Structure 1
Amino acid sequence: MEKQDWINKGYELIIALTPKIIAALLIWVVGGIVIKFMVRGVKRVLAKSKHDVSLQKFLVNLTRWGLFVILIISVLSTVGIATTSFAAILASIGLAIGLALQGSLSNFAGGVLIMLFKPFKIGDLIEAQGEIGSVKEIEIFTTKLIGLSNKEIIIPNGKLSNDTIVNYTTEGTRRVDLVIGVSYDSDIKQTKEVVMNVLTSHPLILKEPAPTVDVLALADSSVNFAVRPWSNAADYWRVYFDVTENVKLALDEAGIEIPYPHQVEIQKQG
């Protein structure tokens, strides 16, 4: 075939494909706008429902992804790729995609399980995969947490749904576990009274369950007390820090020594 024939064929192909490409672009642009409106509509409907925020966001994301898949198939069909051919192509590479996206499919399934069993919701303080944070968003494939130092933590839903999750918010209250050590010369009853006065005078410590102060262990150089106040989940760290500081101040004022490691030098006479 001569060069001119190739050029003619190219012109014919361009002329034949141009209307389809323009139509596909229009479908893509208009479809994108329609999807935005439909997603907003779904958001409004879900907002009026009694479903929790976690489920609402998950369904919105699922709707958005589903509509985009339909839009992509429509664009490909407009260009000239028949939907039957497209389905055949998907079927032929389905196994490869499944293997390549094994983790993603697991994460999607994990997101569905989280929505079904609801081990936590947006705003809950949880511990999972070695991380602690408040749930910011539950997406299709991942869950986002805001860590205690205000860092964003992204955990794949597959791992999250198949491992231990500690939810600190569900019960509404938390016990603060502290260990306070005093010297063996200290009076046990006086120490318990001093520490208990600190606990009962703190405004954020709950009356029920009542705080406790008990001898925990007779350690090598100290008598250790288990100090156990209760607080609302949101007040945990404030209570933790306040009690630690106030107990130290109260023990100092009462003349009760908190022992610390020290070395004793022994000299041998020659």
Structure 2
Amino acid sequence: MQNLETEVIASSDYVGKYATQFITILVDYSPKLLTAFIILFVGLYAIRFINRMIRRIMISRNFDPTLSKFLADILLWVLRVLLFVTFIDQLGIGTSSFVAILGAMGLAVGLSLQGSLSNFAGGMLIILFKPFRVGDFIEAQGVSGTVLEIQIFVTKLTTTNNQTIFVPNGALSNGNIINYSLEGTRRADINFTVSYDSNLQEVKSILKTIIDTDPRILKEPAPAVVVTGLVDNGVTIAVRPWANRSDFWDVHSDVLERAKSQLYEAGIEIQPFVKEASVKPLQ
């Protein structure tokens, strides 16, 4: 019984000793801990304030909205990393080893995400050199649509039938891009093939009347009606009217419709497209 009481007293002294040491360490370390958390909270508030201020400055200077968001996001994460390094340094944790580990992690992540880094670089090139902007209608990488958003890794398009397409920026920046919205006017290339028996002057007169009486077709640059080829099934005539970008598709459709109707009324035959095929005869 006496031995048990001695062990209890010894255990109590042992716990008390370590409790005293813990309190002593906590009291000694509390200024650093308090200072570190003050730096953390003040730093987070300062980062939000700086980020909002930078965004307002870029908006007031008429920066491109996509570029403004891109630069503000990069600045935000750089400041957060610097704040985190300052926080752990204040806690007394060695930052040199942490930076070395962070560098090794960055290298590993970079090697595993080479495609994503290529898309990141492509996004920066698109934002800086601006081959297209939000709202432009473009054709690239086998797809076409209106640009909804230029993100860091992908560009978001919407097609004419309201489908959403995400195109990787790496491929987009390294390929051919057709921007239909860059110029204010566009020329339609509309081809008709008529019979060899047709009076070409009459055909050209009908087509010229169609484009001359459409107020949406521009006088400058001047439209043209020209013979462009002699093919197996007839004579090819091209109609080339110019129109403002907003009127282009309506003009294209109306010229096709009116030309078909008026050539038919004049007794001029529009030749169908004929595709030759080789057929193996039956044995």
Residue 67 of structure 2 aligns to a residue in which SS?
Answer: helix
- Counterpart of 1:255 in structure 2: which amino acid? G
Deviation at 1:61, TM superposition (A): 3.7
Q: 2:174 aligns with which of 162, 165, 186?
A: 162
User: Unmatched 5+ residue regions in structure 1?
Assistant: 1-7, 263-270
1:186-201 equivalences in 2 (<5 Å):
186-201=198-213
Residue 214 of structure 2: aligned partner: 202
Deviation at 1:60, TM superposition (A): 3.4
Residue 238 of structure 2 aligns to a residue in which SS?
Answer: strand
1:246-265 equivalences in 2 (<5 Å):
246-260=258-272
1:1-270 equivalences in 2 (<5 Å):
31=44, 38-67=50-79, 69-70=81-82, 83-260=95-272
Pick closer, same or farther for the CA change 1:198–1:58 going to 2, 3 Å: farther
- 1:154-197 C-alpha deviation (Å, 9 max, x unpaired): 22221111111222222222111111112222210111111111
How many residues align? The count is: 250
Give the fraction of aligned pairs with identical amino acids, expressed as a percent: 49
Of structures 1 and 2, the larger Rg is shown by 2
- 1:13-39 C-alpha deviation (Å, 9 max, x unpaired): xxx9xxx8xx98xx69x94x7766654
Pick closer, same or farther for the CA change 1:213–1:71 going to 2, 3 Å: farther
- 1:39-69 C-alpha deviation (Å, 9 max, x unpaired): 4443322221132334233323434444555
Deviation at 1:143, TM superposition (A): 1.8
Q: Single out whichever of 252-261 and 78-87 deviates more from structure 2.
A: 78-87
Q: Single out whichever of 196-205 and 210-219 deviates more from structure 2.
A: 196-205
User: Unmatched 5+ residue regions in structure 2?
Assistant: 1-14, 16-21, 27-32, 275-283
> Is the contact made by 1:123 and 1:135 (CA closer than 8 Å) also made in structure 2?
yes
Deviation at 1:73, TM superposition (A): 5.7
Residue 103 of structure 2 aligns to a residue in which SS?
Answer: helix
Per the normalisation by structure 2, the TM-score is: 0.72
Residue 140 of structure 1 aligns to a residue in which SS?
Answer: coil
Distance in 2, Cα, partners of 1:233 & 1:120 = 16
